[in-house]
């Protein structure tokens, strides 16, 4: 091999080694971009603010059992609180009270204040006036039995699932509050929260 050919081969090798790597395209590029971009995390529920709202709404009623689930109903990236209450203070023969609270400032305001509801509470894929449709179960108290569809009218959801504008439906959606939910208990005296197993032992 001549000296000139040897030098040409060496030059070609050095040029190849120094060339920039090709820019990924297609699926590979998308994967790389996803890996390097952190997705924003949706803020969760403010449980202290939820309990403050419940304490103000049910002042003087004693211990308050409730179940709560967060879900973004209006697509603003913040979770609404879907709340189902239990106990003699909030339930009757037709069912119990259910609420939807939406974030407002550092607290919440109610966009659903419904009586005579039963679990499960579900969220449908459909929307009305920019808010997801809900279902609650109804039964007892001499009224209809089954699933009631609750739609947003521009300011709130219906207050009574057994009468218009709520209507009976065969459809249910993703379960938010199950039929037999695990209840938290907000203590009436000091507004503290404990789980269904009771308060922590003294000294802990």
Q: Does an H or E element contain 27, and which?
A: helix 26-36
CA atoms within a 13 Å half-sphere pointing along the CA-CB vector of 27: 0
| pLDDT above 90 for 66 | yes
Across 78-87, 101-110, 141-150, least confident range: 141-150
Q: What is the structure's pLDDT at 43?
A: 77
| pLDDT above 70 for 72 | yes
Assess contact for 73 and 132: CB atoms under 8 A: yes
Work out the pLDDT band at 62, boundaries 50, 70, 90: confident
Bridge partners for 96 per DSSP: 91, 117
| pLDDT above 60 for 204 | no
Q: Does an H or E element contain 47, and which?
A: helix 47-57
Span 6-41, pLDDT tens digits: 444 444 444 444 445 454 455 444 443 444 555 566
Stretch 49-67: mean pLDDT: 93
Q: What is the structure's pLDDT at 13?
A: 44
| pLDDT above 90 for 75 | yes
3 state SS of 50: helix
| d(C-alpha 191, C-alpha 76), whole Å | 30
For the chain, the distance separating the N- and C-terminal CA atoms, rounded to the nearest angstrom, is 85
| d(C-alpha 118, C-alpha 120), whole Å | 6
Across 85-94, 106-115, 191-200, least confident range: 191-200
Span 41-51, pLDDT tens digits: 667 999 999 99
Mean pLDDT over each residue of the chain, to the nearest integer: 81
Stretch 75-97: mean pLDDT: 95
> Which two three-digit tokens encode residue 35?
């890996």
Assess contact for 119 and 178: CB atoms under 8 A: yes
Q: What is the structure's pLDDT at 115?
A: 96
Q: Does an H or E element contain 69, and which?
A: strand 64-71
3 state SS of 196: coil
Span 97-120, pLDDT tens digits: 999 999 999 999 999 999 999 999
CA atoms within a 13 Å half-sphere pointing along the CA-CB vector of 54: 36
pTM score: 0.74
Domain boundaries, the chain: 47-185
């Amino acid at each position: 091999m001549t000296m000139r050919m040897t030098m040409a081969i060496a030059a070609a090798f050095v040029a190849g080694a120094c060339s920039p790597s090709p820019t990924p395209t297609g699926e590979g590029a998308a994967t790389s971009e996803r890996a390097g971009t952190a997705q924003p995390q949706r803020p969760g529920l403010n449980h202290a603010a939820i309990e403050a709202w419940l304490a103000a709404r049910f002042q003087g009623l004693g211990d308050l059992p409730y179940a709560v689930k967060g879900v973004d109903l209006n697509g603003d990236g913040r979770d609404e609180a879907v709340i189902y209450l239990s106990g003699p203070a909030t339930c009757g023969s037709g069912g119990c009270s259910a609420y939807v609270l939406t974030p407002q400032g550092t607290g919440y305001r109610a966009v659903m204040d419904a009586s005579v509801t039963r679990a499960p509470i579900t969220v449908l894929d459909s929307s009305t006036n920019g808010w997801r449709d809900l279902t609650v179960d109804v039964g007892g108290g001499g009224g209809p039995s089954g699933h009631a569809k609750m739609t947003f009218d521009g300011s709130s959801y219906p207050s009574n699932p057994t009468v218009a504008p709520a209507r009976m439906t065969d459809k249910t959606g993703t379960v938010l509050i199950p039929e037999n939910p695990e209840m938290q208990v907000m203590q009436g005296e000091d507004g503290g929260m404990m789980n269904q197993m009771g308060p922590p032992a003294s000294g802990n």
